Amino acid sequence: MVKICTAKEAVETISEGMSIMIGGFLNVGAPENLIQALVEKGVKNLTIISNDTGFAGKGIGKLQDHKQVAKVYTSYVGGHPAYGQCMDSGEVEVVLVPQGTLAEQIRAAGAGLGGVLTPTGVGTIAAQGKQEVVIHDKTYLMELALSADVAFIKAHQADTSGNLVYRRCARNFNPIMATAAKIVIAEVEEFVPVGAIDPDQVITPGIFVDFIVKGDIEYGRNG
């Protein structure tokens, strides 16, 4: 049963050392109110799973600014100047994953699969330490499913049953992450009554969502 609450109440579920998936692509479709609440709560030693690590002072990048991250699985750290240094010093463990592989690892976890076989990364450093499987003369890497304790996702609209719709490319990793974590917290721009979203239009069925938070602050792209 979905619970409607504030961002502050929603992050009460988060404790030190948890793994958190966070939606968004270069801050578009990132749940910024939830991230801000997590910054204010100040929990540290987090494992973050996200497409990219954002920018300094914005969105997901704030978690790095406040040194709350111990480990991150991501495809791109180039937007945040601190990551290069933190990787070298060992302060943050960064696992770089090809973007499509990251999406499939998360999807696999949400779909009850142990992992996927992908040709991406064969013959590159992304293959290091991974099992190779040959099927019909083509080599694939075995990439294991990736789940998390919590997912922070961002949607455009939610009805009070938790059914979600997204807008444009703010969808990105959000619907996949909604399937792959024990607790799913959705930040939304707008609440609508049950029935206002046609069942054919629902992207994330409400059964995946535990908490819904109305994003009070519109941070915009550069927030």
Partner 1 sequence: MAGTDKRIQVARRVAQELKNGEVVNLGIGLPTLVANYLPQGIAIILHSENGFLGIGAEPECGKEDKDLVNAGGKSVSILPNGSCFDSAMSFAIIRGGHVDVTVLGALEVDEKGNLANWMVPGKKVTGMGGAMDLVTGARKVIIAMEHVNKDGSPKIVKECTMPLTAKGEVDLIVTDMAVIAVQSDGLHLLEISEGTTIEEVLSSTGARLILPKKNFPI
In the complex, the residues that contact partner 1 under the rule CB under 8 A are 25-29, 51-52, 74-79, 83-84, 87, 94, 96, 98-104, 106-107, 118-126, 156, 166-176, 203, 220-221
Q: Contact at 8 Å (CB) between 79 and 26? A: yes
Smaller CB separation from partner 1, 56 or 203: 203
* Minimal distance, residue 12 CB to partner 1, in Å: 28
Name which of 86 and 213 has its Cβ closer to partner 1. 86
- Cβ proximity to partner 1: between 1 and 137 the closer is 137
CA distance 216 to 213: 9
Which stretches of 23-110 are assigned E, i.e. beta strand? 46-49, 69-74, 93-96
The smaller minimum CB distance to partner 1, of residues 11 and 164, is found at 164
Q: Smallest Cα–Cα separation from 187: which of 177, 197, 196?
A: 177
**Distance between CA 10 and CA 185 in Å, rounded?**
7
Output the smallest distance, CB 41 to partner 1, in A.
Answer: 26
Q: Is 208 exposed, middle or buried (0-12, 13-18, 19+ CB in 10 A)?
A: buried
Least distance (Å) between residue 83 CB and partner 1: 8
User: Least separation, in Å, of the C-beta of 202 and partner 1?
Assistant: 13
Cβ of residue 105: shortest distance to partner 1, in angstroms? 10
Cα-Cα-Cα-Cα torsion 67, 84, 121, 74, nearest 10 degrees, comes to 20
